[in-house]
């Protein structure tokens, strides 16, 4: 039986949510499956993956073939790195403890990179918000200045009209 690791679609229209499943290659996309090993939500930023790492590693080592998207997900989560290291242990290139140390170092490096990326996006959001606030303040100052000029012009016009009215009344009174 040819087993595949693939995505099973759930969710509503235009808002997909996927389960990562092990299924027979002949089974329908959303049909019968052997085991559910995780979920994948591409709607969040970054995409959220909840994976049973040991079961995914077991199925990859057994020979289950993933689809392209699932292969990318498993690679990003480190399943293929662990498989590669276990292959080196089987060949005698290095010990299991050394393989585990290399995997932990890779995992920490990846997490540090993700943390730096998140910090960079947060910093960019803060800078954008600050720039918008400054632009809004500038626009508000220009509006206030224009309004003050308009009020001053209206006040001057009223004062001039009042002055004209008083000068016209004075000769009529004589």
pLDDT at 108 (0 to 100): 93
Q: Is the pLDDT of residue 128 over 80?
A: yes
Tokens 């730096």, residue located: 116
pLDDT in tens, 32-55: 999 999 999 999 888 899 999 999
pLDDT of 174 above 60: no
Average pLDDT on 129-157 reads 92
How far is Cα 89 from Cα 72, in angstroms, rounded to an integer?
Answer: 24
Which percentage of the chain shows pLDDT scores above 70? 96
- Region of 78 (left: φ > 0; alpha: ψ -120 to 50; beta: rest) is left
In tens, the pLDDT along 57-103 reads 999 999 999 999 999 999 999 999 999 999 999 898 888 899 999 99
Average pLDDT, the chain: 90
pLDDT category at 171 given cuts 50, 70, 90 is low
The pLDDT of residue 145 is above 60:
yes
Average pLDDT over residues 115-139: 92
When pLDDT is cut at 50, 70 and 90, the band that residue 6 belongs to is: very high
| 25, burial (CB in 10 Å: exposed 0-12, middle 13-18, buried 19+) | exposed
pLDDT at residue 132 is higher than 90: yes
Residue 170 has what pLDDT? 62
């Amino acid at each position: 039986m040819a087993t595949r690791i693939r995505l099973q679609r759930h969710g509503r229209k235009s808002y997909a949510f996927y389960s990562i499943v092990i299924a027979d290659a002949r089974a329908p996309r959303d049909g019968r499956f052997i085991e559910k090993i995780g979920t994948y939500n591409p709607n969040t930023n970054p995409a959220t993956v909840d994976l049973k790492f040991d079961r995914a590693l077991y199925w990859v080592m057994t020979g289950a073939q993933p689809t392209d998207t699932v292969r990318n997900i498993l690679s990003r989560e480190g399943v293929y790195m662990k498989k590669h290291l276990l292959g080196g242990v089987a060949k005698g290139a290095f010990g299991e403890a050394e393989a585990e140390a290399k995997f932990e170092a890779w995992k920490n490096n990846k997490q540090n990179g993700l943390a730096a990326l998140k910090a960079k996006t947060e910093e960019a959001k803060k800078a954008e918000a600050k720039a918008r606030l400054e632009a809004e303040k500038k626009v508000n100052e220009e509006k206030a200045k224009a309004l003050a000029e308009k009020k001053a012009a209206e006040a001057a016009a009223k004062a001039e009209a009042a002055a004209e009215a008083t000068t016209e009344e004075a000769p009529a009174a004589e």
